[in-house]
Structure 1
């Protein structure tokens, strides 16, 4: 049914919130008065035409123009029935039209009674208010057609269509308020606080009256955001269905669907706000510091999952229940519009994140977003199907947008991981790490790879879809094939080569070996301490690195302590033909003391941060040097006279030597201790 034109009425059904109730009350109170004046004028005109003047008017009893309710209803029903059957309808008096319009006004008057006018009096029948609106809508339509054919109901048509317009204003406000907060259904209609009409005063204008159709309206009032999108009980859905039916029979289908869209968009926005998610422009996101953006991404993921897993399925159910039966297709179309608006707003955020400056630290949050979109794809397919016509095209656009955003996130993630390789190659620093400690890049890369391996399946999927063309020739590591594993192993080998190159910055070969031991041990500890990265790297790679560590250890022992051990050997120079060459012996003790002083001074400043490696080094050194020195002392110390000569050449006891070894690799250079007594 087409919407009934109401040309004489200039007030909008979406008038300002601050004057709505006043206008409605004023219309209800003045309508009958105006009509009575017009009716009297009509009577006077008929009397004049009859020649009776004022006396003729007075001759007509007032009671004759005011039939009882049964007569009124019978007259209206007869008029409508004849009109429906295409017959010449019987005449209906202006007073009858006025009284019928007044009855409808009483139904929509705020605060009238405490009964629920949207609840059917008899199960299965239409609610009283819906029946009244159906009647006045049918009457308005019939009067309009009659008037177009030269009818005589100008005054009655104005009165009926005016009441119909006000009725639609009332229904629309109730509809919007109940959609935004179903709790208003639990408030008695006569109450001022929490009634649907009073709540409706706070809503924004509906579509078609100054609002933008494609715009998702954010509620002007934040009340109720903490428990946004509350469930709709059956009795509330029945109310909404009756309200929608009332608007449809009056020809207000467009207003009904637009109000529904606005209200539910507001409710979805409120539910997101209750989760801490606020919509931001792309420019705002691009300019946001990473620390703030990281928090926003976490909030976005929570809000996105809530929207897809709870919010939109709930909206789909509500649309299906309110627009049931013959309007099922309309309900699906409305839901597709809701879903598309909600999803596109959220996907704009991901587009902005992709546009931010690329950095390795952002990889894992980007992967979190990628996983969120990937994981909800089946749910999106389920809750928006089936759609037909233009809405099917809109649905295809939404699916395409989801796939497009996921692709861009995947490409960004793959590029960020590959940037790790580039950052290693780009580090051309010539400054050695003091004390041979673990290189900062080693710590960064290994921790990065450890965390990356926790996303192994996702990164493998990303690299399968978006890996670079030159990745095809990469060999996979021991943990299994795949482009991500190949890329990770390349990074590991690149880091190993980088450390080998950095070790050559040390002039002391012993310190070079300490540096390689520190970094190799750190890498191995990270691999073995993480099942994820250990599974990717494989046992073969770990065994190879363990072998390298043992070789570094041997190199250190050889470079540092082999020279010291040679000083403690009698190689045929100290003892000649059974006689000790005292000067040679003195020189040997001097050389040993100097060597130990140098080792303590330098290697005491070297760093071995891993306690187990530090202990292993000290034990291995002591196991070789201390017994050799004790044996040397026992064999040759008696060749020095007691007193100054002994103190001059024998500066260390066996215990002193042990103490020196125990202080190596602490990062603190100290002088050689005095001989213990």
Structure 2
């Protein structure tokens, strides 16, 4: 507020006029009518000025060494409050002098006193702000406000009959002591601010406040790891470096919204409660730069070169979550019209993050589509690397289902003709996310399954193809069951695909082991000649040996599925062979080279079957295990913080 000679506040119609009631007496009506009323008013004004002269000069740092080195508010709180009242009375007296047309000398003297008093209060305001940085830091202020509200709520129900443990009491006493210092400092600042504002010295008060408090906010933002950085610098960063910066930013948002900016808003609202415009001006100048820097970071991250690590999407989702979950606080703390740019920056970053997520999911789908459909089946028909990476990716994405539902709320769903009608039905659970994200996840899995079908379409070994399909679809179903994909796709989806796994297994069994089963007669105990028995043994030996040798390279990655397939095979082969073996082995005992004729005992058949689906060496199974470990490790590295 500019000064032009006499403070404009002296002529402010909003300033209450000099109160005569404090100096009135019952004898007032008995005063001689010959005494001018103005002289009586002037005498009261003179008394006010004289009282102000004594107290204000006592604390004039220009004339008193004591006043120069001593703090009024720390030395004597009662005298400090008296000083404030004295200044307020002096201001009222100055206003009254203008009305009463007093001599200019008195007005000049009062104005000089006012300037001395304002310098004193300006000094006190600075000292309280600077000396109480620890108690007026945003954390203490915001915590004090929260605890005060909590104590207020508790006191409504506390009848004083419940005693506290000593430990709890000691902690409470410690907190109360800290709160007391903070509360006193805030009260003193408010008293000084209201006095300076009401007397026309708001500019000096505001200037001090902005300088000190802005330095605290800027330092806080820097300590949280947020600093000014250009998009070119972001583009030059390795992903590992950028990932650490994003983690720091996520923590910075949480601390900033609950402590830093929240505490500053509380303090500013309290100190300048008497003026809405000053509150807005101070808080905007203190916080705007730091907040804009904070909420501008995500926009720089998503502008990084298009070619990025797959795990980047999870960090982008984390940043989206950080802003969206704090949006109510952002809108409340930065509610002033002058802080609209902060809200706009946060909203712009939110939109950029949304666009980035949609783009990255589209790129992910495109990468799957480009996978060669005729590529060789590796690992003895085990789980394909495309299946492993895709399902790990989607299962992690499912943890963000609510956020993704917001991001894709206005996006068109996958082409309806590309998905079964059941995919367009909402999951049965009431708390499931929007159908849009459920359909998108179903669509991405369908793309994966189509690519897997393409891998086996031209493969010569049909048995291996069915093992491959059973392995991969079983892995898909397993990842769905053990992640939030379960709630997105629903129980019906799981049940239908479990049936498909059983169908693939049954087709493998029929094609691979059907010829072995066919070598045994329908009635194993029927009477036959020794020559016929010998021929059946020979055919069984040859078929079983050849099939075991061929199938020994096949692998079933999932232990449960592996055991189920072996049990089913054993039930169809071993009992029939045992019956035939027990019934006809004696018929060929006298034959030469009986060991060649009857090569397998029933127990041998069972043992050979139990050794199936591990692969003929550790390379196939090892690849799957190694891949699973690697991706499991990535899962932890992609998790949120």
TM alignment of 1:520-559, pairs within 5 A: 520-530=473-483, 532-559=484-511
8 A contact 1:304–1:346 mirrored in 2: yes
8 A contact 1:517–1:553 mirrored in 2: yes
Q: Give the aligned partner of residue 350 of structure 1.
A: 298
Q: Greater Rg, structure 1 or structure 2? A: 1
In the alignment, does 2:328 pair up with 1:369?
Answer: no
Structure 1's unaligned 5+ residue stretches are: 6-73, 83-91, 136-145, 185-228, 671-677
CA distance in 2 between counterparts of 1:131 and 1:433 reads 93
Q: Give the aligned partner of residue 66 of structure 1.
A: none
1:412 to 337, 352, 356: 356
TM alignment of 1:439-450, pairs within 5 A: 439-450=384-395
1:626 Cα shift? Answer: 1.4
TM alignment of 1:580-599, pairs within 5 A: 580=529, 582=531, 588-599=536-547
Over 3 Å counting, the alpha-carbon distance change for 1:625 and 1:247 in structure 2 is same
Ranked by relative contact order (alpha carbons within 8 Å, sequence separation 6 or more), the top structure is 2
1:666 Cα shift? Answer: 1.3
Q: Give the aligned partner of residue 278 of structure 2.
A: 330
Greater helix proportion? 2
CA distance in 2 between counterparts of 1:470 and 1:627 reads 51
1:239 Cα shift? Answer: 3.0
2:440 to 487, 502, 505: 487
TM alignment of 1:156-175, pairs within 5 A: 170-171=123-124, 173-174=126-127
* Matched position secondary structure for 2:460: coil
In the alignment, does 2:478 pair up with 1:499?
Answer: no
8 A contact 2:381–2:467 mirrored in 1: yes
8 A contact 1:622–1:658 mirrored in 2: yes
TM alignment of 1:411-490, pairs within 5 A: 411-428=355-372, 430-465=375-410, 467=411, 476-480=423-427, 482-490=435-443
Q: Using structure 2 for the length normalisation, give the TM-score.
A: 0.68
1:611 to 549, 553, 559: 559
CA distance in 1 between counterparts of 2:498 and 2:132 reads 67
Q: Using structure 1 for the length normalisation, give the TM-score.
A: 0.65
Residue by residue over 1:360-386, the C-alpha shift from the partner in whole angstroms, topping out at 9 and shown as x without a partner, is 32222222221222222222333344x
CA distance in 1 between counterparts of 2:207 and 2:73 reads 29
8 A contact 1:478–1:538 mirrored in 2: no
In the alignment, does 2:337 pair up with 1:379?
Answer: no
In the alignment, does 2:516 pair up with 1:564?
Answer: yes
Q: Give the aligned partner of residue 638 of structure 1.
A: 586
8 A contact 1:517–1:549 mirrored in 2: yes
1:620 Cα shift? Answer: 1.0
CA distance in 2 between counterparts of 1:280 and 1:611 reads 53
CA distance in 2 between counterparts of 1:580 and 1:99 reads 133
Q: Give the aligned partner of residue 84 of structure 2.
A: 126
1:401 to 335, 340, 345: 345
Over 3 Å counting, the alpha-carbon distance change for 1:182 and 1:289 in structure 2 is same
TM alignment of 1:206-245, pairs within 5 A: 233-241=182-190, 243-244=192-193
Q: Give the aligned partner of residue 662 of structure 1.
A: 610
1:435 Cα shift? Answer: 1.0
Structure 2's unaligned 5+ residue stretches are: 6-41, 94-103, 138-177, 428-433, 619-641
Count matched residues: 512
Residue by residue over 1:645-668, the C-alpha shift from the partner in whole angstroms, topping out at 9 and shown as x without a partner, is 101222111111111001001123
Residue by residue over 1:44-63, the C-alpha shift from the partner in whole angstroms, topping out at 9 and shown as x without a partner, is xxxxxxxxxxxxxxxxxxxx
Residue by residue over 1:471-511, the C-alpha shift from the partner in whole angstroms, topping out at 9 and shown as x without a partner, is 68876444446322221111121111111112235432111
CA distance in 2 between counterparts of 1:258 and 1:604 reads 83
TM alignment of 1:97-108, pairs within 5 A: 104-106=63-65, 108=67
CA distance in 2 between counterparts of 1:479 and 1:654 reads 52
Q: Give the aligned partner of residue 259 of structure 1.
A: 208
CA distance in 2 between counterparts of 1:101 and 1:557 reads 102
1:286 Cα shift? Answer: 3.9
Over 3 Å counting, the alpha-carbon distance change for 1:160 and 1:460 in structure 2 is closer
In the alignment, does 2:68 pair up with 1:109?
Answer: yes
CA distance in 1 between counterparts of 2:492 and 2:557 reads 26
8 A contact 1:614–1:665 mirrored in 2: yes
Over 3 Å counting, the alpha-carbon distance change for 1:606 and 1:108 in structure 2 is farther
Over 3 Å counting, the alpha-carbon distance change for 1:478 and 1:599 in structure 2 is farther
